[in-house]
Structure 1
Amino acid sequence: MTTNQVPDVIGQLRRTVDTCPTDYLLWTKLLDQVLIADQEDQIRATFDKYLGIFKFDAKQWANYINFELNKGDLKRVELLFARCLPVTADVELCRTYVLYVRRVNDVITGGEKARATVVLAFDFAVNSVGIDLDSYDLWRDYIDFLKSWTPAINYELQLKNTAIRKVYRRCLVIPNTKLETLWADYRKWENETTPPNAASKLIADLSATYMEVRPWTTEWHNATEGLLRRKLTPHSPTSDPNNIVARQTALWFRWVDLEMANKLALPPAALRQRVEYTYRRATAVLPFVPELWFRQSLYLASADDEGLRTACIAHLADGFVLNPASYLVAFRLSELYEKEQMYTEARQVYDSAIAELVCEHAQTQARIDVLKTKAQALVPGLRAEKTEKTEKPEKSADSEDDDDDDEVPEIKYAYTEAQAAELGAENRKLTDSAAAVTLLYVKLMAFCKRSQGIKEVRAVFKQRKNFKHMEYQFYVENALHEYYSDNKKTADKVFDLAMKTYGKDGGFLYAYLDYLIILNSVADLNVVFELAVTALLKEITADKETLEIATNDVFKHQTSLERLDRSRFFLRKMVQRYINFAASHLDLDTVLSLSKRYIQYFPDTDELSLFKDRYTMGDFDAITRFDMNGAGTSEEPPKLRKTEPKKEPTKESRSLLPARPDGLPLPPTPSVVAGNQQHGFVGKEIYNLLHALPNAGCFGPKSEHLFDSAKLVELFADVVLPGEQA
């Protein structure tokens, strides 16, 4: 790469990480490039910005420190150590720190003072990470340093041996992946430096504790299966194609469970230290797994210690920086702030999460627009027609004689199957993104209601204009806040306002109906019910007509099908809800009238099922259980229910079955038939296949339809079924 190319690459990477500040792989590339460019100010600025986000990345802290060491700027090195050591828990970084201390405190020229300084550095390091199972090299460095001391007098030799023995006794009672190697080294050293009888006694005294620790290490190996990764994994549970994150998360939780089982019989303080350390390592290695941050916060907050609770909030706030779109981390952090009455900070969490998700929504919409632009295909002559229409002078806004012929034709799209699938996936992301933003606004209102009252809820409601794709739940929740604050008139106005936007949305209409049932406002209930039914039936009819028209727009076909299913679902749910309400609180004529309409809307309805639904009590269905010998729900908890073993057909019962040709399977059992009845006696696989196939309008003569039906008939005729001869 030429010198001129490097700045261009760096500039591109900088712009990219500005839009994706938590993209670890992009940051790694950027850091590599700035190190190649070797411009000190640029390198420092990049490292500082990166480590402000990934403050637990010991590897990059070490790279930054080594850069300053190579420049010979020891003051900066010490400042970096002061920044990184309190927030990281990494053996190699601590070894780097000790090496630096040894470098600036030469024991040959500095004598006893330098040696004491190095010992303090080693003590700090082993106190910080000595409990790490991979800390063997650090303990080995400590012991070798002490062994390198050449005493001048006998007294110093005794001090040296005492110091070495003390370190051995510290590390041999802590689980370590190379514990047996340390034990062998200790026995050899003790036997070489101590008289035989005394050595045997000292070894025997330590042996009992060592034998208790060794099985724990074996159990740890079994729990983690030798597969635990100790380096940062730059993936989240939702971007984990090879299931690496899920597997590693499970292994870390096994480690935590093993620590909390306390098979080492540690005192509470030592046990808590080990569990906290394990969580710190887990979140450093898997920083994009919200569940780890959440469970760590639960553990830290469980301590009856104000200092730990403060540390818990600070650590979870660091996790939120790495996971700005995590609902789990955001909600947990806001609750912790709220509990401490830090309402401003709690509000900032919501605002930050909303901003992040709104940005994601905009990015998804941009991708959809690009896909549509690529797939756009105007029908012949339409582009010229569209141009002519747009060139005509615009009519005034008050003109009432708008002619349909003057409208600009709708742009038509033609998608390949792959494009339709991609567009469908992006649209689902867009829908989920809008729902996510709505959820955060809904929970923000709930937080404001708890902490500041209805006035602040109204302030949040005014912010709805900041996001044009808000879903109906936002209005419903706001109306309920008003209602439960004794502001029924305001609640009614909110529902009326929402009706203008979501008057065709089955979800909103059902929520509105439910609200009116709560109010027991029968007159308004009837009006809204009729409006809702009319709107949904109109939507259902329109979607049916769309599906019956032959089209090569696979995406439009799928969208109409999904919308049709949703409208039917809410229409069914709405009428059932009204029937049940009428059965309990109105009159029988209303119930029968609604039931008749229900059957009219859904002709395949079993009238018996519709009838008995009115005569259930919660989950208890007496008609099914006692009159139809069915499996009416039991009052027992699910885990206590006893399931009757399935009875195989007896020899006598088999003889009553009609004879069947050899090689054909037995008829399905009644339970299988019952399961298939929901799909009209068609198996689940066949039903799903039929559900996914295009509608009948897509099949016909090749010149007029998307699929050539003649070719399909030939294809099916040539299929060789199992058991047939070709």
Structure 2
Amino acid sequence: MSYRSNDHAGAIPYAVRSGDLFTRPALAPQPTPPLPRLYNEPTWPDPHLSFGELTNILKKDPYSHEKWHQLLDMAENSGDIHKIREAYELLLSFYPNTAAAQIKYIQHYTNDGGSLDLNATQALFKQWMNNSASVELFKLYLHHIKYVFTRRCDVQTVHRAYEFALDCIGHDKDAGEVWLDYINFIDGPIPLRDWRKSGSRSITAKEAVVRINDMRRLYRRALQIPLVLLDTIWDAYCEFENTVSTQTADMMITSMQNEHEPSYTIARQQLRFLDVVGFLQQLSPVQPAALELPTRPRPSSSFQDENSDSLCHRWLCYLNWEEGNPLLFDLKTMEGEKEFVRRMKGVYKKAVLKLRFYEVIWYRWFVWYNELKGDKQSDKHNPLTILQTGIEANPTSLLLNFVLAEQYEIQQNHEEVHRVYTALIAVLQKELDGIERHLSQPSANKTEDASSTSFSHEDMSNQEGPSETLRGIFQKRIEELGSVWCEYMTFARRSRDQVASREIFAQARKSKHLDWRVFDYAAMTEYHLSKAAKIATKIYDLGLKRYPTDAGFICQYLHFLVIINDESNARLLFEKVIANPTLTPEKARHIWDKWCSFECNFGDLASSHKMQKRMLEIYTAGKRSLRPLDNGLIRLLGI
């Protein structure tokens, strides 16, 4: 029985081939975003919780790794298949493609020592295999396929399963055992070396030749990949040629060396390179069977590049390295290009599995896939599915939501754009409400509620630490929500007109948590697009009523009045705001600097000296001054 590697006729067992890597499992409803964890710290499990109570807690806050382990242990120890199914299904709804959980789950149906639930096994494999990047899961899949179909003498189905597996994970450094297992399977129940020794006539000479050619093709394919077992496969190939014919072995091995030595050498060099720079340790866990859930990046009150996270940074370096085609695939040929695209798909699958909660990884995957020409996208699926899946994992990601909205706008799918913005606004508002409720609680309640707020024990010993961090995150989220409203207004104007943008602005003003930059953006839009300075001024006045002591907003309002040459109203605004007793000199420093700069640069000498004197009285109180300071000295002293 022979099988050509390019023959894909027939159905792949338990695999929805049309879905390929973009077939998305049905996820559980997204919970209300819990308060941001200050660290990826343990949240201690409560031994007194029942299975149902623990399930409800994890549905609301699915980011506690310790509670997930507690739930799975509770289900496993119960021996109740219904609880086991519920626990694993819940885990996989929040952490799709977690291979260790999938393997432990499906082993309850594939255990050779117990009853074999074929229908359940088929359903689970069909649901998982197209999206999986796990070599271990594919090994289990192939073991099951051989167990079922060799009993039916359906060898072709097993062949198709192997080819499907190699298409999905054959490029993986740990896939050497799969390649060798496939080669041994083609070799058949009576290996060639035994067939020649015994003189068996169970296969004809013609069938033996076909088998030999198929095995040679597999060896050629495997020897071009940086596999951990690369040298083992080479030794097996040399032994294979000597088994086929000692007379032609040297010639065939030399031919293979001449034809594939460059690829083989490159593969070995790249494997050594990955080992030296430490990528091999990052690409796979020390114990593949251990349940390892992806962690979230540490939240910060400041906007920072996620590259600062060492794990994320390593993966970004690795992705750059892979996209540089280090294996030197011939991208001018269809076959070389196909192999490169297949390899990159597998790399990105692993990346988003390890870094599910890092938006930049999903964005990189989308950009890479979206830039492929249609004929290279072999699965013919919409690249936007990557963004949608990334948003399911990161619902508050501005990057992914903005890119998705822009793509829908390019497609003139305005209804979906509205859906993206409204969903993002709702998620951010819920998170802000949750943080606000926590910050308003008394200190004692915060300590009692430590488990639900995800603070570590060390953090609880210093209440100021987490509270201050949460306040910073709260302010950051308000600014992010403001950016969403501004982008939403921009889309409304582009898709319809300025009236539509005003309608969105009216909605934004009803928001409990609104950044002053939304007023600034609305006003500047009216000024630049409609030349309506009066309307813009009215918008700033509305903003001033809402933010009477916000120095950032007041400085922006002053700047606007200056650029439209409305000096009188600018002066009135300055005098009005500094007269507010709640706006202390420390808070108003930027406002004074702004107006002093205007007076010194564009006012007369008397006005400049008067302003300098007023600043000296406020900011150098108790210090003697012999004369008014000029503008240059003010800048030099930094007062």
**Structure 2: gaps of 5 or more residues:** 1-45, 191-201, 286-291, 301-305, 332-336, 448-459
Aligned equivalent of 1:567: 588
The SS at the match of 2:130 is coil
**For the residues of structure 2 that align with 1:307 and 1:491, how far apart are their CA atoms?**
50
1:339-350 aligned within 5 A: 339-350=410-421
How far 1:477 sits from its partner (Å)? 1.8
1:319 equivalent in structure 2: 390
Note the alpha carbon deviations across 1:452-481, whole angstroms, 9 max, x for none.
Answer: 333333333233465323232222222223
Equivalent residue in structure 1 for 2:255, among 205, 215, 237 = 205
| Corresponding position of 2:501 | 457
Residue 293 of structure 1 and its aligned partner are, at CA, apart by: 1.4
Equivalent residue, structure 2, for 1:497: 542
C-alpha separation in 1, matches of 2:630 and 2:241: 84
The 1:307–1:204 alpha-carbon spacing in structure 2 relative to 1, beyond 3 Å, is closer
Q: Counterpart amino acid of 1:219?
A: F
1:596–1:331 CA distance, 2 compared to 1 (3 A): same
- Equivalent in the alignment of 2:568: 523
Aligned residues: 540
Query: Does residue 170 of structure 1 match 2:221?
Result: yes
Which letter does structure 2 place at the counterpart of 1:371?
A: P
Deviations, residues 303-362 of structure 1 (Å, cap 9, x unaligned): 233885954310121111111122332223333333333333333333333323222222
**Which residue, out of 321, 341, 347, partners 1:272?**
341
Conserved? CA contact 1:259–1:271, under 8 Å:
no
Alpha-carbon distance in 2 for matches of 1:293, 1:225: 20
Identify the range of structure 1 (153-162 vs 501-510) with the bigger mean alpha-carbon deviation: 153-162
Q: Structure 1 residue 155 and structure 2 residue 206: aligned? A: yes
- What amino acid sits opposite 1:506 in the alignment? A
Which residue of 632, 636, 639 corresponds with 1:611?
632
Change (3 A) 1:311 1:90: farther
Correspondence 1:117-132 to 2 at 5 A: 117-132=157-172
- After TM superposition, give the deviation of residue 504 of structure 1 in Å: 1.7
Query: What is the one-letter code of the residue matched to 1:272?
Result: V
1:530 offset after TM fit, Å?
1.3
Contact kept in structure 1, 2:609 and 2:628, CA below 8 Å: no
C-alpha distance 452-83 of structure 1, shift in aligned 2 (>3 A): farther
Misfit runs of 4+, over 6 Å: 604-609
CA contact (8 A) 2:613 2:628 kept: no
In 1, Cα distance between the equivalents of 2:392 and 2:211? 47
Q: Go from structure 1 to structure 2 and tell me whether the alpha carbon gap of 1:29 and 1:290 turns closer, same or farther (over 3 Å shift).
A: farther
The answer to whether the Cα contact below 8 Å between 1:237 and 1:245 also exists between their aligned partners in 2 is no
Look up the equivalent residue of 1:522 and give its one-letter code.
E
Q: State the structure with bigger RCO (CA 8 A, min sep 6), 1 or 2.
A: 2
Give the distance between the partners of 1:44 and 1:469, measured in 2 at CA.
Answer: 41
> 1:15 — aligned with what?
56
Q: What does residue 240 of structure 2 align with? A: 189
Secondary structure of the residue that 1:257 maps to in structure 2? helix
Please give the root-mean-square deviation of Cα atoms over the aligned residues, in Å: 3.5
Cα deviation, 1:220-253, whole Å, max 9, x if unaligned, reads: 222335431425552222169xx99933223222
Q: Is the 8 A contact 1:293 1:319 kept in 2?
A: yes
For the residues of structure 2 that align with 1:525 and 1:304, how far apart are their CA atoms?
55
Whether the 8 Å contact between 1:437 and 1:470 is mirrored in structure 2 is: yes
Code of the aligned partner of 1:131:
H
Q: Does 1:298 align with 2:367?
A: yes
Q: Distance in 2 between matches of 1:375 and 1:118?
A: 58
SS at match of 1:86: helix
CA distance in 2, matches of 1:310, 1:590: 67
Residues 1:598 and 2:618 aligned together: no
**What code does the residue aligned with 1:594 have?**
M
User: Does the Cα contact within 8 Å between 1:216 and 1:264 map onto a contact in 2?
Assistant: yes
Q: Which structure 2 residues correspond to residues 105-504 of structure 1 after superposition, within 5 A? A: 105-106=149-150, 109-111=151-153, 114-150=154-190, 151-196=202-247, 198-207=248-257, 208=261, 209-224=263-278, 226-231=280-285, 232-238=292-298, 246-268=309-331, 269=337, 270-305=339-374, 308=377, 311-372=382-443, 418-464=462-508, 467-486=511-530, 487-504=532-549
Query: How far, CA to CA, are the matches of 1:365 and 1:144 in structure 2?
Result: 62
Equivalents in 2 of 1:306, 1:320: separation in Å? 27
Partners of 2:184 and 2:544 in 1: how far apart?
A: 78
What residue identity is the alignment partner of 2:267? V
Distance in 2 (CA, whole Å) between partners of 1:598 and 1:310 is 64
1:25 and 1:449, CA in 2 relative to 1: closer, same or farther beyond 3 A? farther
Gaps of 5+ in 1: 377-415, 542-563, 615-623, 625-676, 680-726
Letter aligned with residue 93 of structure 1: L
Is the Cα–Cα contact under 8 Å of residues 176 and 228 in structure 2 kept in the other structure?
A: yes
Cα distance in 1 between the residues matched to 2:442 and 2:616: 42
Q: Matched residues, percent identical?
A: 23
CA contact (8 A) 1:135 1:176 kept: yes
TM-score, normalization by structure 2: 0.75
Alpha-carbon distance in structure 2 between the residues aligned to 1:344 and 1:28: 41
Structure 1 counterpart of 2:145, from 92, 98, 101: 101
Say whether 1:55 aligns with 2:96: yes
Q: 1:483 to 1:129 in 2, by over 3 A?
A: same
* Superposition deviation, residue 540 in structure 1: 1.6
Q: Is the 8 A contact 2:325 2:340 kept in 1?
A: yes
| Mapped contact 2:307–2:313 kept (Cα < 8 A) | no
TM-aligned CA deviation for residue 266 of structure 1: 0.8
1:88 pairs, out of 132, 143, 150, with 132
Inter-partner Cα distance in structure 2 for 1:356 and 1:468: 14
8 Å Cα contact 1:579/1:595 also seen in 2: no
Post-superposition shift, 1:136?
1.1
CA distance in 1, matches of 2:141, 2:628: 79
1:65 aligned onto 2:125 = no
- DSSP-derived class of the 1:264 partner: coil
1:427-455 CA distances to partner (integer Å, 9 max, x unpaired)?
33333333333333233223333333333
Compute the displacement of 1:175 (Å): 1.5
CA displacement 1:600-619 (0-9 Å, x = unmatched): 433389977723899xxxxx
Secondary structure class of the residue paired with 1:121: helix
Could you tell me which amino acid in structure 2 is paired with residue 450 of structure 1? R
How far apart are 1:105 and its partner, in Å? Answer: 0.8
Equivalent in the alignment of 2:30: none
Letter in 2 for 1:328: L
* Partners of 2:72 and 2:84 within 8 A in 1: yes
Superimposed CA distance per residue, residues 370-393 of structure 1 (whole angstroms, 9 cap, x where no aligned partner)? 3346699xxxxxxxxxxxxxxxxx
TM-superposed CA distance for 1:513, in Å, is 0.9
